Structure 1
Amino acid sequence: MPGKRILMIVGDFGEDYEIMVPFQALLAVGHAVDSVCPGKKAGDKVATAIHDFEGHQTYTEKPGHLFTLNATFAAVDPADYDALLVPGGRAPEYLRLDPAVIAAVRHFFDAGKPVAAICHGAQLLAAARVLEGRTCSAYPACRPEVELAGGTYADIPVDAAVTEGNLVSAPAWPAHPAFVAQFLALLGTRISH
């Protein structure tokens, strides 16, 4: 299987695990992943945040790693990519304000290419108006946005993921095993034991 080209759109204070783990897992099985952020270029860094579930009414937030971008947002053409990856954290709440980001997200849905969104990544999908008639999981606080965008919120366990058509989604990073496996299936990746 030839590796696919995947575009990953990130931003400052995206969730550390939701950026790092899928990025590294996809590279490990032979895919190419270009990580980009509006207003930044290859070699620049984004700050990440670690969100943890410690028994409070919502997650806690701690400083994460600095993540180095390997491509320049202004130089990429979504048509050159086979799939899109949208991590969560706080980044999607401001990334969704960028018309070029919205156009990129819409490209993948219009073309029927695989898309993986986790946690608050659904905020970006809702803003791009691509959830109408679709089932999408997200962090529970994003349920109103999924539903207001015309989607059906998939209320699944935090360690589960759901695939509908070209979209795989999950509530948060504890779902990585299911989320990454389902995204790999959409990409046509075969892993034998």
Structure 2
Amino acid sequence: MSAKKLLLLAGDYVEDYEIMVPYQALSMLGFTVDAVCPGKKAGEHVLTAIHDFEGAQTYSEKPGHRFALTADFEGVDAADYAGLVIPGGRAPEYLRLDQRVIDLVRAFAGRPVAAVCHGAQVLAAARVIEGRTVSAYPACRPEVELAGGIYADIAVDDAVTDGWLVTAPAWPAHPRWLAQFIAVLGVQVAI
């Protein structure tokens, strides 16, 4: 396992900030971040969606960017990575239906995992959150609880760490979510 390599799960209509910001921030810290998507290869793209909180009963959605994948999903071996990042958006709703994704997520149980927003849907489907405190977008609360997780109803800009697992409700939590994740990875940043 390389302490410098992280795996990032992607899929079409992943939330734009929730894939772009962690990818860039973790890369800036010196990690090699392999962004993968089932059925796609390095150099191909996933489409992103921008979700915003504009006073409606749920978030709004607008077209985002084309995010370039950096590795092939087919060749991924969890043993090669120090941790896993699962962004939200709509991608988790169908990624969780792919048994290869579920097996991959299960292989990371007990090792550093960061999931934000709807990323908890993948964790719930993989059945790796039983007894763990997990934050997610509020609409995912039933799935977290049905999978045996303890839903953390926290502010949209907060995050929670439970052992190896770092979760947050949405992209406004990036500063706390990423800070907690790098702490679980054993990284210290001096300024």
TM-score of the superposed pair, with normalisation by structure 1: 0.97
Q: In structure 1, give the amino acid aligned to 2:161.
A: T
1:78/1:3 CA distance change after superposition, 3 Å: closer
Which aligned pairs between 1:151-190 and structure 2 lie closer than 5 A?
Answer: 151-190=149-188
CA–CA separation in structure 2 for the residues paired with 1:136 and 1:166: 11
Q: In structure 2, give the amino acid aligned to 1:116.
A: A
CA–CA separation in structure 1 for the residues paired with 2:93 and 2:131: 22
Deviations 1:137-190 (A, max 9, x none): 000000000000000000000000000000000000000000010011011111
Secondary structure at 1:122 match in 2: helix
User: Contact 1:3 / 1:32 at 8 angstroms: preserved in 2?
Assistant: no
Match of 2:59 in 1: 59
CA–CA separation in structure 1 for the residues paired with 2:102 and 2:118: 15
Match of 2:77 in 1: 77
Which aligned pairs between 1:9-28 and structure 2 lie closer than 5 A?
Answer: 9-28=9-28
Q: In structure 1, give the amino acid aligned to 2:171.
A: W
User: Contact 1:45 / 1:67 at 8 angstroms: preserved in 2?
Assistant: yes
User: Contact 1:86 / 1:121 at 8 angstroms: preserved in 2?
Assistant: yes
Q: In structure 1, give the amino acid aligned to 2:121.
A: Q
User: Contact 1:3 / 1:30 at 8 angstroms: preserved in 2?
Assistant: no
Match of 2:6 in 1: 6
Deviation at 1:135, TM superposition (A): 0.5
CA RMSD of aligned residues (A): 0.9
Which aligned pairs between 1:32-43 and structure 2 lie closer than 5 A?
Answer: 32-43=32-43
Secondary structure at 1:168 match in 2: strand
CA–CA separation in structure 1 for the residues paired with 2:57 and 2:120: 20
Match of 1:103 in 2: 103
Structure 2: state its 5+ residue gaps.
Answer: none
Match of 2:94 in 1: 94
User: Contact 1:36 / 1:71 at 8 angstroms: preserved in 2?
Assistant: yes
Match of 2:136 in 1: 138
Match of 1:50 in 2: 50
Secondary structure at 2:49 match in 1: strand
Deviations 1:86-143 (A, max 9, x none): 000000000001000000000000xx21000000000000000011111100000000
User: Contact 2:3 / 2:81 at 8 angstroms: preserved in 1?
Assistant: no
Deviations 1:28-68 (A, max 9, x none): 01111000000000000000000000000000000001000
User: Contact 1:4 / 1:187 at 8 angstroms: preserved in 2?
Assistant: no
The count of corresponding residues between Structure 1 and Structure 2 is 190
Q: In structure 1, give the amino acid aligned to 2:17.
A: Y
Q: In structure 2, give the amino acid aligned to 1:78.
A: A
CA–CA separation in structure 2 for the residues paired with 1:94 and 1:52: 21
Structure 1: state its 5+ residue gaps.
Answer: none
Q: In structure 2, give the amino acid aligned to 1:108.
A: F
TM-score of the superposed pair, with normalisation by structure 2: 0.98
Q: In structure 1, give the amino acid aligned to 2:114.
A: A
